[in-house]
Amino acid sequence: MTTIRITGLGKRYGATTALDDLDLTIGRGVTGLLGPNGAGKTTLLRCLGTAQAPDSGRIEVFGLNPAVAAERTALRRRLGYLPQSPGLYPNFTAAALLDYVAVLKELTGTRQRRAEVRRVLDEVGLTDRARTKVRKLSGGMRQRLGLAQALLGTPDLLILDEPTVGLDPEQRMFFRALISRLGETRTVLLSTHQTEDVSALCERVIVLRAGRAVFDGTPRELAALAQGQVWLSADPPAGGSMYWRTADGDYRTLGVRPPGGAAVRPSIEDGYLTLLGPDAATAVR
């Protein structure tokens, strides 16, 4: 089932092209957006989230056109959004902040709002922090709170802009488990720099470069782009290829086979690096 249909989407900021005649369709499940900085990921998410209007092209989400005021509001009722840097009021408690967003999401009944706040706090594991002020929460907890506000009202579409950035491994595992669970029943679109997140979570991955989709497929298909180009060898390659020394002391090369190199199975990161070439250097962390 198609949730999002994008046709000929374009957006410019002065001389910079953020989105360039982009066509996409996205359905239920978890879809990952990968791409170097400035590839247009956040702009695309903001356009889909109705925070920004494109210069050209058409967006349809659940058959609704956000360019039309009434349909935009209808779409916002079915949307949960976690921005890249969710600015949360530091002096609000976690529960008060969620209560505020619940009102913005038109949950006007007090009882209904309280139940919903309780539900999302439980879902992100912050029940015991309900009365803690935002400024006293750790970075990971704030990120969870950001996700909790996105979950209010049980949205059909979740847009998450780099949800795992800056999290420790434990918190990242928590987010992954939660996002994969959410993706079972709704459409989740997440932008990330973490190729590990994509391989762990996404059924589908779209790679953007300079506002265009340069890859659209499964994580396995992305990894396969580097098939026959990843090698392990005792000595470094002569040059021209990307390589690094592993913890075992071997050299892992992406590109031309080094002397004595044994082929290894490529990862998503290998596929991504092969696809983007030099541009990828700014994207992979």
Partner 1 sequence: MPWHVDEPLLEAYQQGRLDPSRVMAVDAHLQACPACRSAVPADAEWLDRSWEAVLDLIRTPAPGPVERAAERAGLPGHRLRLLAATPALRWSWLAATVAVLTFGVVAAYAGDARTSLTWFLVAAPLLPVLAVATAYGPPFDPMHEITSMTPSAGPALVLWRATAVVGVSMALGLVAAALLPGPGWYAAAWLLPAFLLSVGTLALATVLPLPVAAGLLATGWVIVAGGVSIAGEADLPVVFGPAAQSGYLLAAALAAGVLTRRRRRLDPGESR
Structure tokens at 201: 């979570």
Q: In angstroms, what is the minimal distance from the CB of 87 to partner 1?
A: 3
Query: Looking at beta carbons only, is 6 or 88 nearer to partner 1?
Result: 88
Give the shortest CB-23-to-partner 1 separation in angstroms: 22
Q: Per CB under 8 A, does 83 bind partner 1?
A: yes
Residues 6 or more apart whose Cβ sits within 8 Å of residue 51 = 81
Q: What single letter denotes the amino acid at residue 203?
A: E
Asked whether position 77 contacts partner 1 by CB under 8 A, the answer is yes
| Angstrom distance (rounded) from CA 192 to CA 183 | 16
**Does residue 53 bind partner 1 (CB under 8 A)?**
yes
DSSP 8-state secondary structure symbol assigned to residue 258: P
Residue 247 tokens read as 């913890």
81 binds partner 1 (CB under 8 A): yes
CA nearest neighbour of 45 among 126, 148, 134, 161: 161
Say how many C-beta atoms besides its own lie within 10 A of residue 121's C-beta. Answer: 21
Residue 88 interacting with partner 1 (CB under 8 A): yes
Note whether 10 binds partner 1 by CB under 8 A.
Answer: no
Please work out the total of residues on this chain that contact partner 1, with binding judged by CB under 8 A.
Answer: 40
Binding segment for partner 1 among 49-57, 181-189, 210-218, 241-249 (CB under 8 A)? 49-57
Three-state SS for 123? helix
Stretch that binds partner 1, among 72-80, 175-183, 232-240, 267-275 (CB under 8 A): 72-80
How is the beta sheet containing 251-254 ordered, strand by strand?
A: 242-245, 251-254, 230-233, 262-263
Give which of 29, 11, 6 is closest to 158, Cα–Cα: 29
Q: Considering only residues 10, 57, 65, 100, which one is a binding residue for partner 1 as defined by CB under 8 A?
A: 100
- For the CB of residue 115, give the shortest distance to partner 1 in the complex, in Å: 8
Least distance (Å) between residue 137 CB and partner 1 = 15
Backbone phi and psi for residue 5, each to the nearest 5 degrees, phi listed first: -130, 120
Question: CB-wise, 109 or 277, nearer to partner 1?
Answer: 109
Provide the pairing of β-strand 16-27 with 2-13.
antiparallel
Residues at the contact surface with partner 1, assessed by CB under 8 A: 49-53, 69, 73, 76-77, 79, 81, 83, 86-89, 91-93, 95-96, 99-101, 103-108, 110, 113-115, 117-118, 121, 130-131, 149
